[in-house]
Amino acid sequence: MKLDKKLLRIAAGAATLALASLAGYVAAQPAQPKEKVIRIDAKRFDYTPGELTLKKGEAVILELTSRDVLMGFNLPDFNLRADMVPDKVTRVRFVPDKTGSFTFLCDVFCGSKHEEMNGRLTVIE
Amino acid sequence: MTSAINRRQFLQLAGLGGVGVVFASALPGVVHAAGQDDFYFVQLSDTHWGFEGPPNPDAKGTLRKAVASVNALGEQPDFIVFTGDLTHTTDDPVERRRRMAEFKDIVGGLRVKNVRFMPGEHDASLDAGKAFREFFGATNYTFDHKGVHFIALDNVSDPRALIGDEQLAWLAADLRQQRADAPIVVLTHRPLFDLAPQWDWATRDGAKAVELLMPFRNVTVFYGHIHQEHHHMTGHIAHHAAKGLMFPLPAPGSQPNRAPLPWDPAQPYKGLGFRSVDAELKEAAYKITEYPVVKA
């Protein structure tokens, strides 16, 4: 009987410890892993940054905005595009699903060097 | 009949004489059976008046030379179309209008006075086509010529390269008036299909226009924008890109960017030119002939 009580206390203690650990884990870890946020600014006629390196399969949030006129962010190889609007941030979730080097470009005509306004995305393993 | 033969004789003579006329684009299945409704028109594109730079040391002379070459054609076309980028873009609305006025003055020297103009993004994307309309009229329209229904589609006044729902509804309404076998020619600036999206050589909602055109059996599209001859089929619809008249651009996707090809002093005006399009209605086909800017 004494043994039973002792076992019970140990079990209860272990359960308390386990709950405390779980609570600590929940407090430290959000429900989903935090995704990397990458801000891309456009102004006539370039992007900042103009080169990105991402990991295949790793989700990122692109925050897109323009510092002057309406621009576009077009990544044709991933069928991803969005307007880049002055004074407004457009958030786009992006998970690269293939490796390589890819062009992104402005697809909203913005002036004399519009044709030269592009950047490069490199996706690595 | 006689006039058609004369024109072909002229072309053959010109070719033998070293003018460099190239019958590079004749469509298959064309039968030379000139009838009373046969005609031809000339397409010029991407003149980029106002451009200056190493890709064309004769930037101020090329358009005039092209006008002279068109005027020298032995038999004049029924009409002439300019498929966009008449002027090179500028942020200055005054300068934009000055370039359009100069362009209009130069092409006013064409012997043929039936001339149709279309905007390119360099003409229209920075002001939604306002200056273009002041000088050249509507940016989208239709006209009929000897049994062929021509549709000018504007895919540049919206800087996002959109035809737009309103214009697509206009196109759908126009097409409802056409027979399924009507000869239809679409004139536009950008490709209506995804030629090279990495170079912005596309129209974002171009597939919607192609879908509207698809029920019609005899549709051909002539466009510009890419500064080179190019031919593509979407189903039974043929798309023919024209050379430009300021600087040539590289083949789609052939290099990382779409920078103009360098001027070749040994072969001035190489890659530039215009075309004639023979409409032979008995076959509902179009024979294309490419011309250099000047005689070799």
Residue-wise pLDDT for A49-79, tens only, equals 999 999 999 999 999 999 999 999 999 999 9
- Segment B256-274 shows an average pLDDT of 94
pLDDT for res B284: 59
Position B8 pLDDT exceeds 60:
no
* Chain A residue numbers touching B132 (CB-CB < 8 A): none
* Chain A residue numbers touching B161 (CB-CB < 8 A): 107-109
Task: Average the pLDDT over each of A25-39, B36-50, B196-210 and give the range with the smallest value.
Answer: A25-39
Are B161 and A107 an interchain contact pair (Cβ–Cβ within 8 Å)? yes
What percent of chain B clears pLDDT 90, i.e. is strictly above it? 79
- Segment B209-220 shows an average pLDDT of 97
- Segment B119-125 shows an average pLDDT of 98
pLDDT for res B283: 57
Q: How far is A116 from chain B (nearest CA, A)?
A: 8
CATH topology of domain B2-291: Purple Acid Phosphatase; chain A, domain 2 (3.60.21)
B295 pLDDT band (50/70/90 cuts)?
confident
B237 pLDDT band (50/70/90 cuts)?
very high
Q: Name which of A74, A105, A108 is nearest B159 (Cβ-Cβ).
A: A108
Nearest to A76 by CA among B255, B204, B269: B204
- Segment B109-125 shows an average pLDDT of 98
pLDDT for res B15: 26
Provide the sign of the torsion angle of the four alpha carbons B21, B23, B24, B26, taken in this order: positive
pLDDT for res B289: 86
Q: What is the mean pLDDT of chain A?
A: 82
A20 pLDDT band (50/70/90 cuts)?
very low
A24 pLDDT band (50/70/90 cuts)?
very low
- Segment B183-198 shows an average pLDDT of 96
Q: Name which of B88, B89, B257 is nearest A118 (Cβ-Cβ).
A: B257
Position B225 pLDDT exceeds 50:
yes
Q: Name which of B121, B161, B198 is nearest A103 (Cβ-Cβ).
A: B198
Position A89 pLDDT exceeds 90:
yes
Higher pLDDT, B6 or B159: B159
* Chain B residue numbers touching A112 (CB-CB < 8 A): 88-91
Q: Name which of A83, A108, A111 is nearest B89 (Cβ-Cβ).
A: A111
pLDDT for res B108: 98
Position B280 pLDDT exceeds 70:
yes
List residues of chain A with CB under 8 Å from any CB of chain B.
70, 72, 74, 76-77, 83, 103, 105-112, 114-116, 118
pLDDT for res B256: 81
Task: Average the pLDDT over each of B31-35, B165-169, B207-211, B277-281 and give the range with the smallest value.
Answer: B31-35
Is residue B134 within a helix (H) or strand (E), and if so which, with residue range?
helix B130-136
Contact between B211 and B163 under an 8 Å Cβ cutoff? The reply is no
Check residue B24 and report its DSSP letter: -
* Chain B residue numbers touching A109 (CB-CB < 8 A): 89, 121, 125-126, 156, 159, 161
- Segment A27-52 shows an average pLDDT of 85
Position A1 pLDDT exceeds 80:
no
Question: What would the pLDDT profile of B126-171 be if each residue is shown by its tens digit?
Answer: 999 999 999 999 999 999 999 999 999 999 999 999 999 999 999 9
- Measure the CA–CA gap between B181 and B191, rounded to whole angstroms: 23
- Segment B24-33 shows an average pLDDT of 32
B97 pLDDT band (50/70/90 cuts)?
very high
Position A32 pLDDT exceeds 50:
yes
Q: At what angle do helices B62-71 and B93-107 cross, to 10 degrees?
A: 30
Neighbours of B62 (CB within 10 A): 24
- Segment B234-260 shows an average pLDDT of 94
- Measure the CA–CA gap between B47 and B49, rounded to whole angstroms: 6
ipTM (interface pTM)? 0.81
Contact between A103 and B256 under an 8 Å Cβ cutoff? The reply is yes
pLDDT for res B131: 98
B296 pLDDT band (50/70/90 cuts)?
low
* Chain A residue numbers touching B121 (CB-CB < 8 A): 109, 114
B270 pLDDT band (50/70/90 cuts)?
very high
Are A70 and B159 an interchain contact pair (Cβ–Cβ within 8 Å)? yes
* Chain B residue numbers touching A116 (CB-CB < 8 A): 257, 259
Direct distance between the N- and C-terminal alpha carbons of chain B, in angstroms, rounded to an integer: 30
SS3 label, residue A81: strand
Task: Average the pLDDT over each of A5-14, B59-68, B239-248 and give the range with the smallest value.
Answer: A5-14
Show the CA angle centred on residue B32, arms to residues B45 and B30, nearest 5°.
Answer: 65
pLDDT for res B113: 97
Q: How far is A95 from chain B (nearest CA, A)?
A: 19
